[in-house]
Chains A and B, each alone.
Chain A
Amino acid sequence: MFAVKSEYDKTYGSVLRIFPEHIRIPLELLPGNLWKHVNEIRLRAAAPIMVCIQGRYRYLHEFTDKACGPGNTVLQKDLRNVLEMATEHSVYTYQEDIKKGFITVKGGIRIGICGRVHMKNGEIVNIHEISSLNIRISREYPGCAVPLMKYIVDDNGNIANTLIVSPPMCGKTTILRDICRLLSDGYTPGPIPDGVNVGLVDERSEIASCLNGVPQKYVGKKTDILDDCPKVLGMNMIIRCMSPAVVITDEMGSEEDEQAVMNVLNAGVKIIASSHGYSMEDMHIKPGIEKLMKRKVFSRYIVLCNRNGPGTLKEVFDHTGFNRIYG
C-alpha cells in the first residue's frame, strides 16, 4: 500500500478550479481527510455525482447537506462548463485528444469524455453533446516503488526486464512512474545511486502527464519522454534517438507490442512495462505477452492488487512466470 504522503495540495487546487460552484463547494466540504483519497470524480448528465475514494464509489451528496445541483444531479451544461474550465476556455487546443476520448490538463488531471461521436470518412472527428466525464486524479507517491526495486535491480546494478501486472485502480501507473523516477535519479542505499538514462514512452500521457512539453508528474532528471506517442512507434524511436539504458511504457498486450519489445532488447536496452491483469493466468490470454513469456523476455513479473489499498504487492515471479519469488 502507498505509505508515502502525496503532494495533494497542488492537485487539490487544480482539480477544484474546474468545477462550477455547486459541485466545487460539496467537494471542498468532504469530511476529514477524504479528499486526499479521492481517485476519481464521475459526472454523468442527469445522474448524481460519484466520487471514488480508495477504490470505492460513493455519491457525493451523501457527504454533505449542500445540494450538488438540482436534485443532486448533474446538468449537461455543467459537463460543458467543466470541460471548458479544464481546458482553460480553449477546447480547440485539445481537439486531437478529445477525438481519442480523453484529455490531460494542468496538474496531470486526466478527463475521460463520453458523448455523441461525430464521424467523418470513418474517423472520429469530435465528441459533442457530452454525456459523462470521468475526472481521474493521479497522485504522486514518491517512494512507493522502493520495496519493489530489489526485484527489479540486482546488487550489481543490472536492471531486469520487468512486467508489472495489475488490475485497474491498483496503482500500476503510479508504481511505474516511481520506478521511472528511481531509475532516473538513482536511489540510496541501492546499486545505482546516480541513476541511468530512461526513455519513457507515455502513450496516453498518464505517467508523466505532459502539458506543453512539461511533465506535470515528476519522472526523474534523466528521463526523456515521448508523449502521446503510440507504443510501438515510440519504443523504436526512443532507442534510436535517445539511447536510453531502460525503456518504460504502460499498458502492453498487443501482438505489435511484442516486436517492438524485441527491437528494444536487440538494441541492448532494458524494458519495464505494465499490463492489465489480475494474475499471471491473465497474461496467457494476451497474445503479445504470451509470446514474450515463451521467449522468456521478462526476468520479473510483479503482480499488484488492492488488498491493503492501491499498490499492494501481491506476487513476484521469476523469468518462467511460474516460480514465485514473493507472495
Chain B
Amino acid sequence: MFVFVKVIGIAMILTGCTMIGITVSGSFVRRIRELQDIKSFLAICETSMNDIGMHTPEILRQSQAYLKTEVKAFLKSVSNRLQSEYPDSLAKIWKEEIEVHRHKLSLTEQDLRVLADIGSFLGTTGPESQRKLILRITGLLDKHMEDAEALRSKNQKIMLNMGVLGGLVLVLILL
C-alpha cells in the first residue's frame, strides 16, 4: 500500500513539474502568436482607416474575427466598453483593459508598453498620421517578434527539460 502511494506521489510530482515546464515553454510560443495578432490588428486598422474610412469601434469589432489569442479577448473588452452609453476615452479604456488582461497575456513589459502606445494614438489623429504611427509600431513589433523568436528557440526546450528534470530532482530528494 505504501509503495502504491509512493508511486502515485512520484507520478504526480513528475506530471506536475512537466506541466509547469510545458506551460513556461509554451509562453514563448504564445508571446509570438500574441505579437503576431497585434500586428494583424494594426494591418486591419491601416486598411480599414485609409481605404474604407471605417470608424475605430467598428474596426475593433470586426478585427476580432481574424484573431485567435488572448489579444482577441482584450480587444473584445475594449470594444464592449466603447459601446456603453457614456464611454470613456479610448486611451483610458485601453489602458485599464491592459491592466485587466496583463496576467492572461504572455507579453513582456516591453510588449505591453507597445500595446499601450497603440491605445494612446488610435483614432486620435488624421489618416496620414495614423498610417505613420501604425508603421512605426509595426516596426517595433517586428523587432519584438525577432527577440521573442530568438528567446523561444533558445529557451523553449530548456524550460521543458527543466520541468521534467526538476520533477526528477524533487522525486529523488523526497525519496
A residues bordering B, Cβ < 8 Å?
16-17, 21, 24, 80-81, 84-85, 87-93, 95, 98, 125-126
- Interchain CB contact under 8 A, A81 and B126: no
Chain A CB within 10 A, most for which of B54, B86, B130: B86
Contact with A along B101-125 (1 / 0, CB 8 A): 0000000000000000000001111
Please, how many residues of chain B have a CB less than 8 angstroms from a CB on the other chain?
20
B residues bordering A, Cβ < 8 Å?
49, 53-57, 82, 85-87, 89-90, 122-127, 129-130
Complex Cα distance, B89 from A229, in Å, reads 32
Complex Cα distance, B61 from A90, in Å, reads 14
- Interchain CB contact under 8 A, A90 and B126: no
- Interchain CB contact under 8 A, A21 and B124: no
Partner of A95, one of B90, B122, B126: B126
CB distance from B80 to the nearest CB of A (A): 14
- Interchain CB contact under 8 A, A92 and B126: yes
* Given A88-B55, A89-B55, A95-B127, CB of A81 within 8 Å of CB of B89: yes
Cβ–Cβ < 8 Å partners of A17 in chain B: 85-86
- Interchain CB contact under 8 A, B127 and A21: no
Chain B CB within 10 A, most for which of A21, A88, A90: A90
Complex Cα distance, B125 from A125, in Å, reads 12
A-B contact count (CB 8 A): 53
The interface residues of chain B, by DSSP majority, are classed as: loop
Known: A92-B125, A92-B127. 5 other contacts (CB 8 A): A16-B86, A90-B123, A91-B125, A92-B53, A92-B126
- Interchain CB contact under 8 A, A91 and B126: yes
Cβ–Cβ < 8 Å partners of A93 in chain B: 49, 53-55
* Given A92-B49, A93-B53, A93-B55, CB of A85 within 8 Å of CB of B127: no
| Nearest A residue (CB) for B130 | A92
Complex Cα distance, B57 from A16, in Å, reads 19
Cβ–Cβ < 8 Å partners of A89 in chain B: 55-57, 82, 89-90, 122-124
Cβ–Cβ < 8 Å partners of B86 in chain A: 16-17, 21, 24
Cβ–Cβ < 8 Å partners of B129 in chain A: 92
- Interchain CB contact under 8 A, A88 and B56: yes
Cβ–Cβ < 8 Å partners of A24 in chain B: 86
CB distance from A265 to the nearest CB of B (A): 37
Cβ–Cβ < 8 Å partners of B85 in chain A: 17
- Interchain CB contact under 8 A, A92 and B89: no
User: What are 13 A-B contacts defined by CB distance under 8 Å?
Assistant: A21-B86, A81-B89, A89-B55, A89-B82, A89-B123, A90-B54, A90-B123, A91-B123, A91-B124, A91-B126, A92-B125, A93-B53, A93-B54
CB distance from A213 to the nearest CB of B (A): 12
- Interchain CB contact under 8 A, A84 and B90: yes
CB distance from B85 to the nearest CB of A (A): 7
Complex Cα distance, B126 from A87, in Å, reads 12
Cβ–Cβ < 8 Å partners of B57 in chain A: 88-90
Cβ–Cβ < 8 Å partners of B89 in chain A: 81, 84-85, 89
CB distance from B126 to the nearest CB of A (A): 4
Complex Cα distance, B90 from A91, in Å, reads 12
| Nearest B residue (CB) for A99 | B126
- Interchain CB contact under 8 A, B90 and A126: no
- Interchain CB contact under 8 A, A126 and B123: no
Complex Cα distance, B122 from A126, in Å, reads 17
| Nearest A residue (CB) for B90 | A89
| Nearest A residue (CB) for B91 | A84
- Interchain CB contact under 8 A, A126 and B55: no
Cβ–Cβ < 8 Å partners of B126 in chain A: 91-92, 95, 98, 125-126
CB distance from B39 to the nearest CB of A (A): 20
CB distance from B92 to the nearest CB of A (A): 9
Chain B CB within 10 A, most for which of A17, A24, A88, A92: A92
| Nearest B residue (CB) for A81 | B89
Partner of B123, one of A81, A92, A98: A92
CB distance from A112 to the nearest CB of B (A): 18
- Interchain CB contact under 8 A, B127 and A90: no
Cβ–Cβ < 8 Å partners of A87 in chain B: 123
| Nearest B residue (CB) for A13 | B85
Cβ–Cβ < 8 Å partners of B54 in chain A: 90, 93
Cβ–Cβ < 8 Å partners of B124 in chain A: 80, 84, 89, 91
Complex Cα distance, B85 from A93, in Å, reads 22
